[in-house]
Structure 1
Amino acid sequence: MKIYAEMALTPTGWQNSLLVQVGDDGKIAQVESDVSPERAGEASRRVEILLPAPVNLHSHAFQRAMAGMSEKRGPEPLDTFWTWRQIMYRFLDILSPDDIEAITAFVQMEMLEAGYACNAEFHYVHHQPDGTPYDNLAELSERVVAAAEQSGIGLTLLPVLYQYGGCDQRPLGAGQIRFGNDYERFARLHEGASKAVARLGASRSEGDSLMGVAPHSLRAVSPEALSACVSLAGARPLHMHLAEQVKEVEEVEAAYGKRPVDWLLDHHDVKPNWCLIHCTQMTDRETDALAATGAVAGLCPITESSLGDGIFNGVRYLEKGGKLGLGSDSNIRISLSEELRTLEYSQRLRDRCRASVATADRSTGRVLYDAALTGGAQAAGRMAGAIACGHYADLLALDASSPMLDGCKGDDILDGWIFAGDDRLITDVWSAGRHLVIDGKHSRGEEIRRRYREVMRRLRQEF
């Protein structure tokens, strides 16, 4: 397959008249710039603007189905993350394996239409509603894999270890029991999930479907189990929630004598294969220390805004050389451009400034997009994030004829898309060379949407 782009963002900057050849393994085999229109005639697809497509590095797919259901004031005088969580637990009680598969396929389809080429799924619903394991421990992990087979998205599956209801190691409550495992059972579940990912990988090229490990948080796993997860992960992706909420920070500090980031960095050799999610409650010193590890900060600005988490210390973190990527977490909205825009606007609101992360040679949109590409690929363990030989052909195309992009060149393209447009400007998306979004629509969208509607009609009645 060959793709011809009038303009494209490459590792050496913006180039014109680019011809990209994709091999049978889904990786970019050849890149040529300044290709004549005559030679471009042999391309399989001609687009106006071609970009690398990033990874969505953090998602709880099932939560997409409860989007919009938690905007009423509850019995508490102040609605918070913790009251939202109770709604989520009640919603979980009515989800079947078929429901989870249908919802996950729908979410992945939306991710692709929004410009993401790979989904790193932080998957923590493992058991039946009463906490009883399925006969197949990895049943629900297999449903996530089945959804990826249907949607075609790249997948890094991150089964989650969730042991306790807090740092005091209290038992899981009624809403959490679908998540719970001791480490031994989790290791067996992880093995089963790995087999499912391997089966998906057998129909794809090596590295397109990967496994990682996700100890949920310092609140939900013991220090000993966290160490075991680090060993299980090895060099593979290891993701964990960290320092998301003030109450969480206070609980960890009371139990362990240190704030979450400080405790983690004191007790573990945090490496580039780690991805720490949210980190919205960090001091300047913690920000500097985390940036120095080379790990990725996994940011989910729309969800962090929705849940009132707080604002990530993004300006300082990037100035210190920190790596970050983007995820959609609760999936209340799935929009790549909006995640990028919300991240930047949060910094502006806090600091009362503009163009907070721009540099002398790169615009705001360019800095943010470059960071999302690099950090997302690193967090997923995926050879992607660049239009370069040997990288997966994870690509997206934008409509240059849009009024928001008409006449734009270079970084102005990214700024126009992110700050003046939205994801409707995306015309095409490829994941490992699979051309899944054409003219803005997923190739199997009708089927996936129909199944999702059927599930949602029943869930809304039951909920």
Structure 2
Amino acid sequence: MSSGSGKNAKSLFFDHLLLPEGWARDVRVTIRDGRITALEIDVEARPEDERHGCGLPGMPNLHSHAFQRGMAGLTERRGPSDDSFWTWRDIMYRFVDRVTPDDVRAIAALAYVEMLESGFTRVGEFHYLHHDRNGAHFADLAEMSGAIAAAAAESGIGLTLLPVLYSHSGFGAQPPRDGQSRFILSVEDYARLLEGAGRHVASLPDAVVGVAPHSLRAVSPDQLRLLEPLAAGRPVHIHIAEQVKEVEDCLAWSGRRPVEWLLDHADVDGRWCLVHATHMTDAETAAMARSGAIAGLCPITEANLGDGVFPAEAFLAAGGRYGIGSDSNILIDCAEELRLLEYGQRLTRRGRNMLARGAGQSTGAALHAAALAGGAAALGVRSGLAAGLPADIVSLDPDHPALLHRQGDAITDSFLFAAGRSAIDCVWHYGEKLVHQGRHRARSRILRDYHAALETLIA
């Protein structure tokens, strides 16, 4: 291994550090140019080491609509009829109708600060807001993608940008409805958007650009086929089977359920992330697991919207993989996403420790390991802490009341189920310390910009 010596080198020392093979004691991590160059286990600290109690790999956030952070909490009033995802969406359309590129940058930057402060070190930005407020194309078709890239640069978070193809309002290529004009693209324009997005993220140290057909209701079968050459070698993300109405509409259109239809008509493999996939039959659940696709689970948003609970126990039993995302960003909290994932299974199955790997095994360790590996795969990067990989690390305060005298997997369990984000001390992405004592280094400035944007958007 490289020694990591040189002017760009730094060394961190952890009393406890979660490595791919499990928790290790007395670990020195040497970092140079953003990457880990050496890991030394069971060693003594040196004077030049920066000392920390315990650390974990940073978690990928595989699904975010960053601009929705600006409307968090504004949809919690009951309407004249039954509220659902669809009534929430109407309110979202009214909010998004006023947003400028600079607003997107300001809102996304704060969302990314909050992600970092909660232990997310990379975000998959599922970005479908492309055009000006009247629906006209910007001179640079990727200007809104540029605003996302600028927010990632301001905050320092890792970015997998997922520009979205959105062309129709419903199954069977129905014409767009009012409120969707800022999203709509042809496949030809989408190819130009991808090219522009690539230019905007080129200055970020480890950015990835993926492909994202919005959903089966927003992209026609012909368009899905035309995306295949654009998707070669890239992550592919799609919303699917989030709501019962979506399943019913897909059945009426095609005679097939959404996941069933997609698996029959697309070459779904390990590059794909099927976001939500909440409403599946047992056969769909097993088939999705066999495909290798990642389930993109967003438990806080799915609970907030009343979507339902993903069949995680059956999916894992069939060999499925998953990651977590913050989706609508109603509340950004890495530990809470994992905790709610497990608690949703407990409530529906009426048991405890539902997603542990077996008798005597840690539930927190299983949740963290699965979301880490699945999230990284979905975002086109490698996961964990090892020589050659980016130094994406989260340190915890060992003096937090919920972490006292914990060792091994008890640290993970206590972090996820008892402490949460209040135990987070420092966060590094690509070797840069962005969070110290739980607070992002640029929070005050980024919050001022967010405040100015919201003052205009919420009158």
Q: Deviations over 1:125-157 (max 9, x none)?
A: 001122111111111000000111111111010
2 CA distance for matches of 1:363 and 1:457? 46
Question: 1:301: how far off?
Answer: 0.2
Number of the residue aligned with 1:57: 62
1:27 aligned to 2:32? no
Query: Which letter does structure 1 place at the counterpart of 2:85?
Result: F
- Contact 1:302/1:339 (<8 A) preserved: yes
> What does 1:184-195 align with in structure 2 at a 5 Å threshold?
184-195=188-199
Question: CA offset at residue 160 of structure 1?
Answer: 0.1
Provide the secondary structure at the position in 2 that maps to 1:47: strand
CA distance in 1, matches of 2:426, 2:103: 28
CA shift digits 1:75-104 (9 cap, x unpaired):
3x2011100000000001111111111001
- Specify the alignment match of 1:114 in structure 2: 118
Q: Quote the offset at 1:267 in angstroms.
A: 1.2
The equivalences for 1:89-128 within 5 A come to 89-128=93-132
SS at match of 2:227: helix
Question: 1:379 maps to what in 2?
Answer: 378
Alpha-carbon separation, structure 2, partners of 1:193 and 1:61? 16
Q: Secondary structure at the match of 1:356?
A: coil
SS in 1 for 2:15: strand
Amino acid at match of 1:402: H
The whole-number CA distance in structure 1 between the counterparts of 2:323 and 2:104 is 25
Q: Distance in 2 between matches of 1:294 and 1:4?
A: 36
Q: Which residue of 1 aligns with 2:243?
A: 245
**Residue 42, structure 1, aligned to residue 48, structure 2:** yes
Q: What TM-score, normalized to structure 2?
A: 0.96
Q: CA RMSD in A?
A: 1.0
Which SS does the other structure have where 2:14 is aligned?
A: strand
Alpha-carbon separation, structure 2, partners of 1:361 and 1:269? 38
- Alignment-mate amino acid for residue 321 of structure 1: G
CA distance in 1, matches of 2:192, 2:110: 28
1:458 CA drift (Å): 2.4
Residue type of the partner of 1:280?
A: T
Matches within 5 A, 1:225-304: 225-304=223-302
Q: How far does residue 406 in structure 1 lie from its aligned partner after superposition? A: 0.3
Whichever residue aligns with residue 134 of structure 1, its letter is F
1:108 CA drift (Å): 0.6
* Alpha-carbon displacement from aligned partner over 1:268-297 (angstroms, at most 9, x marks no partner): 221111111000001111111111111110
Aligned to 1:454: 452
Partner-residue secondary structure (3-state), 1:227: helix
1:362 corresponds to: 361
Does structure 2 retain, via aligned residues, the 8 Å contact 1:58–1:328? yes
Q: Secondary structure at the match of 2:148?
A: helix
SS of 1:345's partner is: helix
Render the CA deviation track for 1:19-43: whole Å, top value 9, x for unaligned. 011121x121110111113x3x221
Indicate conservation of the 8 Å contact 2:172/2:220, yes or no: no
Q: What residue is the counterpart of 1:421 in the other structure?
A: 419
Offset, 1:460: 1.8
1:219 maps to a residue whose letter is R
The answer to which of 418-427 and 227-236 deviates more is 227-236
- Partner of 1:14 in structure 2? 23
Q: Which amino acid aligns with 2:167?
A: Q
| Secondary structure, counterpart of 2:403 in structure 1 | coil
Shift of 1:235: 1.6
Paired residue for 2:177?
173
Cα distance in structure 1, aligned partners of 2:360 and 2:386: 22
For 1:402-427, what per-residue CA distance to the aligned partner results, in whole angstroms no more than 9, with x for missing partners? 11000111111111111111201100
Distance 2:14 2:271 in 1: 33
State the 1:360 CA deviation.
3.0
Residue 361 (structure 1) shift: 5.3
Q: Equivalent of 2:390, from 392, 398, 401?
A: 392
Map Cα deviations across residues 157-213 of structure 1 (whole Å, 9 max, x no partner). 000000000013222112111100111111111111111112x23xx2xxx111001
Give the TM-score normalised by the residue count of structure 1: 0.95
- 1:213 maps to 2:218: no
Q: Which residue of 2 aligns with 1:150?
A: 154
Helix, strand or coil for the counterpart of 2:179?
Answer: helix
Q: Is the contact made by 1:214 and 1:229 (CA closer than 8 Å) also made in structure 2?
A: no
Q: How does 1:310-329 map to 2 (within 5 A)?
A: 310-329=308-327
Q: Output aligned runs, 1:341-360, within 5 Å.
A: 341-358=339-356, 359-360=358-359
Q: Per the alignment, in what secondary structure is the counterpart of residue 169 of structure 2?
A: coil
- Residue 3 of structure 1 aligns with an amino acid whose one-letter code is L
Give distance in 2, aligned partners of 1:362 and 1:54.
21
Report the CA distance between 1:390 and its aligned residue: 1.6
Other structure's SS at 1:173 match: coil
SS at 1:404 equivalent: coil
2:77 maps to which residue? 72
C-alpha contact 1:278 1:300 (8 A) present in aligned 2: yes
- Match of 1:147, SS? helix
> Can you give the 5+ residue segments of structure 2 that lack an aligned partner in the other structure?
1-9
Identity of aligned residues (%): 50
Task: Tell me if the contact between 1:230 and 1:238 (Cα under 8 Å) persists in the aligned partners.
Answer: no
> 2:346 is matched by which residue type in structure 1?
R
Q: Distance in 2 between matches of 1:130 and 1:450?
A: 27
Alpha-carbon offset, residue 318 of structure 1: 1.3
Matched, 1:3 2:7: no
The number of residues matched between the two structures is 449
- In 1, the alpha carbon distance for the partners of 2:360 and 2:16 equals 19
Residue 88 of structure 1 pairs with residue 92 of structure 2? yes
Asked whether the 8 Å contact 1:162–1:179 carries over to 2, the reply is yes
The answer to whether the Cα contact below 8 Å between 1:60 and 1:121 also exists between their aligned partners in 2 is: yes
Q: Which AA in structure 2 matches 1:350?
A: T
